[in-house]
Amino acid sequence: MAAVPDTLSVPQVFRDPAALRLALSGRGVIGFVPTMGYLHDGHATLMRQARQACDTVVLSIFVNPLQFGPKEDFASYPRDLERDLAVAASAGVDYVFAPSEETMYPAGFSTRVSVEGVSETLDGASRPGHFTGVATVVLKLLNLVRPDMVFLGEKDWQQVAVLRRMVTDLNVTVTVQGVPTVREPSGLAMSSRNSYLNDEQRARAAVLSRSLRAVQAAYAAGERRTAALRQAGMQVLTGDPEVQPDYLTVVDGNLQEPEQIQAGPESRILVAARMFGVRLIDNMPLLAAEEQA
């Protein structure tokens, strides 16, 4: 988790969108980091990137009910606003927007944003309606904050792809900046849901990142068939009996799995699995042999 200094200048918190817009007037280039809170070093990295690139940094904290399925963890999703404000302050955030559910979805709200294609596979297939909820809330947040840049973590690679497509298709005047995944020392991708795991479970959950590296190794050895690459990763992933795989795949820039694949900036290895009752996701770029560390 992100380190929290003892003494901080806590950023100003806004619940009302109009008051936030008034505060942002004349504040130069605005960088925006949308989150559901319970912040960790991955989130802090997004904020620091925004701090370096922009004059003013806005963080949103809103646990969005629209992106949770009926049997998912909306009610139990971790929340700790006081701690989040301390992490935000340590990363140089100026303003925090923490709206209520009633503010975001007032009585009579009936509009949804559906991004076809990129939202329909992988997590979109496993979690019906999830990306509609994500696209809806992010478009609302972009309209309320009106940032120049929005910073998104690449751990949620499909989410980044969905939001890039939405921004392009709907002519939203914002630059989408993806930021590489931040990992725990074990290799486990940082996630708020990691808090559901104890230390031993977190160490074992690093099998997800090891399965991705196994795909990298097979590619470096000359394998180009996606089915064989997938199998190399699954062999590692299923080596832990606690793993309940959802998917492990190698995709191109359209999030499609071709019969054969070449490394490139948009080629990606993605995995999702349940361990100890927690659904975890991870991904890595598919790198050419000479690029692999």
Q: Which residues of the chain have pLDDT under 70?
A: 1-8, 293
Split into its structural domains, the chain has a count of 2
Q: Are residues 145 and 65 in the same domain?
A: yes
pLDDT given at position 55:
98
Q: Are residues 164 and 198 in the same domain?
A: no
Residue 193 counted as an annotated binding residue:
yes
Q: Are residues 209 and 272 in the same domain?
A: yes
Q: Are residues 121 and 45 in the same domain?
A: yes
Q: Are residues 172 and 115 in the same domain?
A: yes
Domain assignment of residue 293, yes or no: no
Residue 273 is part of which domain span? Answer: 192-287
Residue 222 counted as an annotated binding residue:
no
pLDDT given at position 293:
61
Domain assignment of residue 104, yes or no: yes
Q: Are residues 238 and 173 in the same domain?
A: no
Q: 55: which DSSP letter?
A: S
Query: DSSP readout, 110-161?
Result: ------TTTTSSTHHHHSTTHHHHHHHHHHHHHHHH--SEEEEEGGGHHHHH
pLDDT given at position 6:
43
Q: Are residues 160 and 21 in the same domain?
A: yes
The CATH number linked to 138 is: 3.40.50.620
Domain assignment of residue 34, yes or no: yes
Q: What tens digit of pLDDT does each residue of 10-40 get?
A: 899 999 999 999 999 999 999 999 999 999 9
pLDDT given at position 5:
41
Phi-psi region of 204 (alpha: psi -120 to 50; beta: other; left: phi over 0): alpha
Active centre residues (catalytic) = 43
Q: What pTM was estimated for this model as a whole?
A: 0.94
3-state secondary structure 206-249: CHHHHHHHHHHHHHHCCCCEHHHHHHHHHHHHCCCCCCEEEEEE
Residue 73 counted as an annotated binding residue:
no
Q: Are residues 242 and 167 in the same domain?
A: no
Q: Are residues 103 and 160 in the same domain?
A: yes
Residue 36 counted as an annotated binding residue:
yes
Residue 37 counted as an annotated binding residue:
yes
